[in-house]
Chain A
Amino acid sequence: MKHVVILGAGTAGTMMANHLHHQLKHPDWEITIIDEREEHHYQPGYLFLPFDIYAPEDIIKTIEEFIPKDVKLVKNKINRILPADNKIELTGGDEIAYDILIIATGAKIAPEETEGMQGAEWQKSVFDFYTFEGSLALRNKLRDWEGGKLVVHITEMPIKCPVAPLEFAFLADSFFKHKHMRDKVEITYVTPLSGAFTKPKATEALEHLLHEKGINIEPDFAIEKVDNERKEIVDYGGKIIPFDLLVTVPTNKGDELMERSGMGDDLNYVPTHKATLQSKDYTNIFVLGDASNIPASKAGSVAHFEAEILTDNILRFVHGEPLKEEFDGHANCFIETGNGKALLIDFNYTHEPVEGSFPFAGIGPLRLLKESRMNHMGKLAFRWIYWNVLLKGTHIPFVSATMSEKGKHYA
């Protein structure tokens, strides 16, 4: 019997387990998925939790309920990958041998990378919303915050869901308006990028929205430290931005497992071929989701598109056929803009987000790069789709794994 081992039962790993168990069956194949955690979190929900839009129970389920019965779930911490021996070493010393390894260990925040970030003000006036604990602590803070300078900040790229901090700023604007205290809050968006986003057309649209909502933008800010006493963030060039409430996205890194295994780059991401999703160093190792170093967004939609393509490539690998260089970096993201509206962007490695209609060219019903209520309904519906369709590896009708250029207005 041959053995596929999946590391990580988050969005990407769970989808792969659901795809592969239909294809690689007993008695020829066994599939194991390893994750030390008990809970599966709907991570996009961390954005809504601080504003009391979602409650904790909306975004937490068990890992177990999404893993197919014929896939073995091992709840254990992984000590090391031994790629030369095709083995996984668990904490405690047990070893698991594999024929094919799928790495889906994701990315997480590393606030310790920035001086002072986890200082005296951490979770008092300095918060993250990329963890459940951070997001919940921020909710409690916002419930009775009386206003002042709110600074929404990105430490460095790449980060998971690069639009989330913008959405946070938009939702904060909307939140304080509804609480009739918008005039008591000054919102500043601080980014290491030269503008609101990484791609020109989307940057233009998003900066227009920031302006419309009275949100200041401070681009090209490379943070050196958080000064907890003076309540300021300071950049390497000497720029200083004071805050009463700092909501930061710390440096994101891949899992420390990669460092222990000598398999990651300087941010613990695994070097991966961007079109086949095969590891650059080992032919029987594949990487998907946030764990890889490919130049695509770190987002659930990307993992979803990757999972469809990777499933085909793993079957080709099993049959000794050449892999298809098919993954195009396709990402599809709703951007909440507050007041019950949202934008939608759809893009890939080579095509930046532009205006148009989605998924049906000329019809929609969703509008690309334009605010609409329908887009917002799409974002809210997405939580149901995530739990009931996406994790189960079911294909989403009319949305292909590779990006379609139809219905998009390229200049």
Chain B
Amino acid sequence: MEKTIAGKNITVNEEGYLTDFSQWDEQVGEALAAEANIPLSARHWEIVKYLQNEHKNQVALSIRRIGKSGVTDIKEFYQLFPNAPLKTATKIAGIPKPASCI
């Protein structure tokens, strides 16, 4: 489905995740973060960029892996993106919601 984010027409799935990463830019990221009531700091951006890079390298994302990434620890990840950090952070990053396996 189509959704207007930061003044642009963006294709998203039924849960609001971007289906085409090429439509993502920093304004889109800001707008998605605002929807989740998260003002993005420099730390947020570091993590968002890290997630995008991992996704590009086809690494399966998990809370465990992020805790061991050296970019952040799980505690800080939860402080920055409260409640369900991986789901929120991937949505802001414009990448698919991680499949939490079977």
Q: A residues within 8 Å of B by Cβ?
A: 156-158, 162, 192-194, 198, 220, 222, 224, 236-238, 266-267, 295-298, 331
Contact = CB atoms under 8 A, between A and B. Distances in A.
Contact of A295 (B68, B78, B83, B101): B101
A331 B102 contact: yes
Contacts of B85: 237
A36 B97 CA distance: 41
A295 B99 contact: yes
A301 to B, nearest CB: 12
10 contacts: A156-B63, A157-B100, A158-B102, A193-B100, A194-B100, A220-B87, A222-B74, A236-B63, A236-B77, A295-B101
A257 to B, nearest CB: 20
B8 interface: no
Interface string B40-51: 000000000000
Nearest to B102: A297
A158 B100 CA distance: 8
Contacts of B82: 237
B64 A156 contact: yes
Contacts of B63: 156, 192, 222, 236
A208 B10 CA distance: 34
B75 interface: yes
A347 to B, nearest CB: 9
B100 A220 contact: no
Contacts of B100: 157, 192-194, 198
Nearest to B99: A295
A322 to B, nearest CB: 24
Contacts of A297: 102
A266 B63 CA distance: 12
A172 to B, nearest CB: 23
Interface of B: 62-65, 68, 74-75, 77-78, 82-85, 87, 99-102
Contact of B102 (A162, A192, A237): A162
A198 B77 CA distance: 23
Nearest to A251: B64
B84 A194 contact: yes
A137 to B, nearest CB: 27
Given A222-B74, A237-B82, A238-B78, 20 more contacts: A156-B62, A156-B63, A156-B64, A157-B101, A157-B102, A158-B102, A162-B101, A192-B100, A194-B84, A198-B100, A222-B78, A224-B74, A236-B75, A236-B77, A236-B78, A237-B83, A237-B85, A266-B68, A295-B101, A298-B102
Contacts of A296: 102
Contact of A220 (B74, B84, B101): B84
Contacts of B83: 220, 237
Contacts of A222: 63, 74, 78
A403 to B, nearest CB: 14
A220 B98 CA distance: 13
A266 B64 contact: yes
A297 B102 CA distance: 5
A194 B87 contact: yes
Contacts of A295: 99, 101-102
Nearest to B75: A236
A158 B64 CA distance: 11
